[in-house]
Amino acid sequence: MEPCPPRELGVNTSCGDSWCTGVLEALPVAEDYSCYCQGWPMATCPRQSNVSPLNTVICQPDVLSVSIHCANQSAVLSWTPVGDVVGYSASAENEAGDMLFCNSSSEPTCTMDGLQCGSQYNFSVQASDGTCNRSISEPVLAGGVPCPPEDLQVQLLPMESAVQTLHFEWSQVACPDVQYQLILTGSILGDSQAQFELSSYWTNSTFFEMPLPCGSSYLATVQGRGPAGTSAPSEALNGTTAPCSPANLTFTGSTASAVLSWYASVFATYYTVYDNRTAPPSQLCNVTELTCSLTEVPHGSVLITASNAAGESDSAPVERVIGGGRRRRDLRDNNKAALSVPIVSVIVEGSTVLVVKWSPVRGVDFYSLVISQQNNTQTLRVDGEKTMLTDLSPDSTYCLSVRAESSSTVGSYSKPQCVQTA
């Protein structure tokens, strides 16, 4: 006896395959099929059930990415394309239930406008094959983060106890409930081994003050954050603080006539010598060199500062006095020619070696070579016009200056030559 055809034929579909009760077949995506079941007794002809039409389901868009553009409060969505699709529709919903949409006919991307700064959104995209079959992607959470703050500026306050306070300001970001953080990175005295990274606490104010040591170089940025996330850093602002006070201030001679000399300060562009017997102190020299000639000035009243565009260092007094006693005036001294200033060149031979050369000076007995690195300064006596410095620190800045000396007179120091080891 022939069996009855199967009843209540069921059809199950998913992305990429479909099946009927009793029959399992893998079918390509987005195609039209007719599905039926049949009884199959031994030694009899099969009898089919009623035909049930079906369409396989298209696959959902995958790898959805969202790029937020804070300047115009828009989002660019992109995803992996799906085959045999006639269109895409993207949507976004924030925590308040506000909806945004964008559509694309075939390209796997669209731009969504009208995002609210500070709001988080659930983004998704839906693919359609034109026959009421649709597949929705997994949602992606992203937000309207604030734009980076603009117009970052700095005002430098006077140096005090070798520390300079920097007052930073920036423009307010047009986004609700934004806080700001100032970030500083840099190094001290040009030394790559003495680096720092400082950051402020998060604040509602559009200004912040940060103290830095003298002789510091810095790079400053500011960023904003809101309920939807943190902005990118602002455009960087770089600069230096005022230099540190000159070291080893030496007074050679007497009150009647003397030569003042000192070591170079990192980032200094000029030096000022003062007489503190007046109020305010009167200026005696304003020079770029490392020496100053004085007349009728006692060593106890001498002060010196180093300066650059960021300001002036603390003042420093005389540290050493040479030849302070009286001596007989010899008319032959007037006939002695002053020693010229050597012309210095420096060659970097590696990470720890420098070769220093300078032009010869007539009438010289020896040369004094000043080596400055961070707060460390030393003076070497050299009998020729060349010397090699070894055992230096790698990747460090050294400033070198040379002066000629004889038994009767001392020349001026050359302009510091600053180089960095490898």
What is the sign, positive or negative, of the torsion defined by CA atoms of 122, 63, 227, 168?
negative
Which of 30, 6, 8 has the alpha carbon at shortest distance from 17? 30
Give the fold, CATH level 3, of 156-240: Immunoglobulin-like (2.60.40)
Q: Which residue has the tokens 């990274």?
A: 197
Q: What is the distance between the alpha carbons of residues 155 and 151, in angstroms, rounded to a whole number?
A: 13
The DSSP secondary-structure symbol of 251 reads E
From first to last of the 422 residues of the chain, give the pLDDT tens digit. Answer: 455 555 554 555 555 544 444 444 444 544 444 554 444 444 444 445 555 555 566 788 888 899 888 888 889 999 988 777 888 899 999 888 889 999 988 789 999 998 888 888 999 998 887 776 678 888 998 888 888 999 999 999 999 999 999 999 999 998 888 999 999 999 998 887 889 999 999 999 999 999 999 999 999 999 999 888 899 999 999 999 999 999 989 999 888 889 999 999 999 999 999 998 888 889 999 999 899 999 899 988 999 999 999 999 999 999 888 875 444 444 334 434 578 888 898 988 888 889 999 999 888 888 998 888 876 778 888 888 999 888 888 888 888 888 898 877 888 888 888 888 87
Q: What is the distance between the alpha carbons of residues 36 and 50, in angstroms, rounded to a whole number?
A: 6
Which of 30, 33, 31, 29 has the alpha carbon at shortest distance from 20? 33
Q: Which residues contact 342 (CB under 8 A, 6 or more apart)?
A: 358, 359, 360, 361, 367, 385, 402, 403, 404, 411, 414
CB 142 within 8 Å of CB 121: yes
Q: What is the distance between the alpha carbons of residues 177 and 226, in angstroms, rounded to a whole number?
A: 6
Q: What is the distance between the alpha carbons of residues 70 and 387, in angstroms, rounded to a whole number?
A: 59
| Alpha carbon distances (Å) from 80 to 100, 102, 129 | 21, 16, 16
Backbone φ, ψ for residue 152 (5° rounding):
-70, 125
What was the pLDDT predicted at 58?
73
What was the pLDDT predicted at 228?
84
Q: How far apart are the first and last CA of the chain?
A: 98
Q: Which two tokens stand for residue 369?
A: 């070579």
Q: Does domain 62-143 have CATH number 4.10.80.400?
A: no
Q: What is the distance between the alpha carbons of residues 322 and 379, in angstroms, rounded to a whole number?
A: 15
Q: On the CB side of 78, how many CA atoms lie within 13 Å of its CA?
A: 3
Q: What is the distance between the alpha carbons of residues 186 and 193, in angstroms, rounded to a whole number?
A: 11
Element (H, E) at 164: strand 163-169
In the chain, the amino acid numbered 7 is R
SS3 content of the chain, % helix, strand, coil (to 5): 0, 50, 45
The DSSP secondary-structure symbol of 160 reads B
In the chain, the amino acid numbered 295 is T
Give the fold, CATH level 3, of 337-420: Immunoglobulin-like (2.60.40)
In the chain, the amino acid numbered 248 is N
What CATH number matches the domain at 250-327, 3.40.640.10, 3.30.1360.30, 2.60.40.10, 3.40.50.300?
Answer: 2.60.40.10
The DSSP secondary-structure symbol of 102 reads E
| Alpha carbon distances (Å) from 298 to 107, 250, 276, 289, 409 | 85, 13, 10, 21, 20
Q: What is the distance between the alpha carbons of residues 50 and 6, in angstroms, rounded to a whole number?
A: 8
What was the pLDDT predicted at 133?
66
- Helix H, strand E, coil C: the string for 24-83 is EECCCCCCEEEECCEECCCCCCCEECCCEEEECECCCCEEEEEEEECCCCEEEEEEECCC
Which of 335, 405, 338, 407 has the alpha carbon at shortest distance from 369? 405
Same fold across 250-327 and 337-420: yes
Q: What is the distance between the alpha carbons of residues 302 and 15, in angstroms, rounded to a whole number?
A: 89
Q: Which residues partner with 379 through β-bridges? A: 370
CB 288 within 8 Å of CB 415: yes
What was the pLDDT predicted at 68?
85
pTM of the predicted structure, to 2 decimals: 0.60
Q: Which residues contact 213 (CB under 8 A, 6 or more apart)?
A: 162, 163, 164, 188, 241, 244
What is the domain partition of the chain in residue ranges?
Answer: 11-55, 62-143, 156-240, 250-327, 337-420
